[in-house]
Amino acid sequence: MKIAFHLLIRAALGLCFATLAVSASAAPFTPVIDEFWIVKGVPGAAPTEIFRDSFNDGGLPPSGPDGPSTYGVFGPGAMTSEAGGKLTMTPALGAPTLVTTTFADVGTDATRLLATNQANPNFLGQADYFEINGLFDMSNLPTSAGQSFGVRATDRAPGLANEGDNAFFLFVGVSGITGDVVVALRRNNYVTNTSDVLWVVSIQSLLPTADQIELSLFKQAGSNLINASYDLFDASDAILGTGTLLGAGAIYQGEDYIRGAFGSTDQIAVPEPSSIALLGVALAGLGFARRRKQH
């Protein structure tokens, strides 16, 4: 009887850890970006493209069109491959997120560096019009809240002793309420450690024929209000869905420049609820067996 009971416990533990192993070995979230570009317009002149990365030189960020130091990279281990005009990220291999009130635990981003000196033509000041754009594949979508990919407008420059306060992140993610895949805009404040969702649009019904999505953060000349838009395309480049949010929130609060970035986030893997319950049953059985032996 005692041997049979121990075998039952061992079987439960084995099943539990086998389940955990399956969860741990699930395919990682690996979003893909095809293009990242920035447009700038100065007063009295038409907007022009000032930067484009087509990810076709085989060099992972921080390498890019400006050379080996094109980007400042957060979580560089998550920039995993660049080939065929596509950059693949694995945000689970990134660094812990700097704002703890988001659903995401880890992430990576690449921020263009040439944008903090007013004398530099890449400078994105309040007087300027600008666009920060990213074109992403829809082939590897987030499956849980905390997984995302998108573009950022940020006033942070830690390498220049300026921590900044705000970043606006326009991304494709998963709603923690409905479970739908959505386009959303989030504002992270690094001083107050807060994160606010400003805009959410479900694109779940459009996913069967979706091929790429273009995400854009833009600002009008002389304004400090950030705007956001997206265009969802099918394989023939026809637009499946589009949306725009104007005046989402203020930027340039204490800083005179904005930098463009792209990135992705993920959650730290945790056991499935059923696995946790099974582990609890097994451990409870071990405790019961130990008490019987002591008695």
Q: Give me the chain's average pLDDT, please.
A: 84
47 and 131 Cβ atoms separated by less than 8 Å: yes
Per this entry, what is the length of the chain? Answer: 295
Answer with the residue of higher pLDDT: 288 or 164: 164
For residues 76 and 106, give the distance between their C-alpha atoms in angstroms, rounded to a whole number: 12
Q: Using alpha carbons, select from 56, 31, 28 the residue that is nearest to residue 151.
A: 31
106 and 94 Cβ atoms separated by less than 8 Å: yes
At which residue do the structure tokens 């533990």 appear? 13
Each domain of the chain, given as residue ranges in start order, spans 29-271
Q: What is the pLDDT of residue 115?
A: 75
Banded pLDDT at 161 (limits 50, 70, 90)? low
- Segment 100-110 mean pLDDT: 93
For residues 275 and 271, give the distance between their C-alpha atoms in angstroms, rounded to a whole number: 6
* DSSP designation for 64: B
Pick the CATH number of 29-271 from 1.10.3470, 2.40.50, 1.10.3210, 2.60.120: 2.60.120
Helices (H) and strands (E) in the chain, counts: 2, 16
Angle at CA of residue 169, ends 84 and 36, nearest 5°: 25
| Minimum mean pLDDT range among 15-19, 179-183, 202-206, 229-233 | 15-19
Q: Is the pLDDT of residue 273 over 60?
A: no
Q: Is the pLDDT of residue 142 over 90?
A: yes
Q: What is the pLDDT of residue 119?
A: 86
Answer with the residue of higher pLDDT: 65 or 252: 65
- Tokens for 168, please give them: 């606006």
Percent of the chain with pLDDT over 70: 79
Q: What is the pLDDT of residue 5?
A: 43
Q: What is the pLDDT of residue 118?
A: 84
Answer with the residue of higher pLDDT: 85 or 117: 85
Relative to beta strand 71-74, strand 106-112 is antiparallel
Answer with the residue of higher pLDDT: 225 or 44: 225
Relative to beta strand 48-53, strand 32-41 is antiparallel
Q: Using alpha carbons, select from 172, 199, 182 the residue that is nearest to residue 33.
A: 172
Q: What is the pLDDT of residue 109?
A: 96
Whole-model pTM? 0.82
pLDDT in tens, 175-227: 999 999 999 999 998 888 899 999 999 999 999 999 999 999 999 999 999 99
